[in-house]
Amino acid sequence: MYSLISQGNNLLLKISLDALDASAALDCGQSFRFRLEEDGSFFGVALGRILRLRQVPDGILFYDMSEEEFHSSWADYFDLKTDYEALKEAYRADEVLQRAVAYAGGIRVLCQEPFETLISFLISQNNNIPRIKNSVEQLCRRLGTPLSEEYYAFPTPEQMASASLDTYAGLGLGYRDSYLVDCVQRIADGRLRMDEISRMELEKARETLRTVKGVGPKVAECVLLFGFHRLEAFPVDTWVKKALSRYYPQGFPEQYGASAGVAQQFLFHYIRTCKDAV
């Protein structure tokens, strides 16, 4: 559970580190738009707005934030409506998940915008997180609406569709630039609609996403999990593949099916960043 305390222009979200850990949640390969500043705060852009926050002993301090804005946008963005305590209670039956939760329990599956998620994870294929972040940043600077001198919104489908292929060439995307061009073209001419996908049954949504060039099984699962909040989606990248072969040679337990994606996120972060992962 959590509560809110207004502090001038800022807002303190009182919540335990186990329930929401800014560093783990914002830097675990879901969003590519947050950076840790030298003063220890996180700065980023999401939902078309600049967000600045900081981990404090009592929870998370949101800068320049009203209760209204928090309730209408950020409570959902940080998935505060999902009962993670219940999920983690179920993980106690599993030794590995228990370790992953002990390592970083404050991860949450962020509710990101579907279009941004689709484009970001098209860029993510056969790529590493620092470079993905860089490419996404370049993309926003080049095509997104400026929100300040430093920060840019993620470009809209229209903004991206109006750019030429050579606009994308300078973004460090490698061979993935043509994937983006094809994807935004499909959206611009109405062949692909995010709002329709959000209403589809899971398997249908999966198939539809995979009609986009460059979207295979893994990217589709990421878009479903991070962009459409389908917690059943289970992306298997090189890290999770490693975790599955190391910890679950007999297969991942089926009992977590309805929220397998959340468990996947704990596993991913654990095996990718914990030095002592065994």
CB of 11 vs DNA, minimal distance in Å: 27
C-alpha distances in angstroms, 276 versus 125, 144, 210? 27, 40, 36
When the beta carbons of 55 and 124 are compared against DNA, the nearer one is: 124
Least separation, in Å, of the C-beta of 12 and DNA? 27
CB of 34 to DNA, least distance (A): 13
At closest approach, how far in Å is the CB of 39 from DNA?
A: 22
**Pick from 104, 106, 124: which is nearest to 30 by CA?**
124
CA angle 149, 122, 164 (to 5 degrees): 60
Q: How far is the CB of 209 from DNA (least distance, A)?
A: 9
In the block, which residue shows the tokens 């878009």? Answer: 223
Which among 88, 204, 218, 241 is annotated as catalytic? 218
Between 134 and 185, name the residue whose CB sits nearer to DNA.
134
CB of 188 to DNA, least distance (A): 19
Q: What is the CA radius of gyration of the chain?
A: 19
Kindly list the residues in this chain that would bind DNA in the complex (CB under 7 A). Answer: 28-30, 121, 124-132, 134, 169, 172-175, 210, 213-220, 222, 235-240, 264-265, 268, 272
Answer yes or no: 241 catalytic: no
Which is closer to DNA, CB of 32 or CB of 70? 32
Would you list the DSSP string of the chain?
--EEEEETTEEEEE--TTT--HHHHHSSSS-S-EEE-TTS-EEEEETTEEEEEEEETTEEEETT--HHHIIIIIHHHTTTTS-HHHHHHHHTT-HHHHHHHHH-TT-------HHHHHHHHHHTTT--HHHHHHHHHHHHHHHSPBSSSS-BPPPPHHHHHTS-HHHHHTTT-GGGHHHHHHHHHHHHTTSS-HHHHHHS-HHHHHHHHTTSTT--HHHHHHIIIIIS--TT-----HHHHHHHHHH-TT---GGGGGGHHHHHHHHHHHHHH-TT--
User: Which residue number, 142 or 210, has a Cβ lying nearer to DNA?
Assistant: 210
Active-site annotation, residues:
218
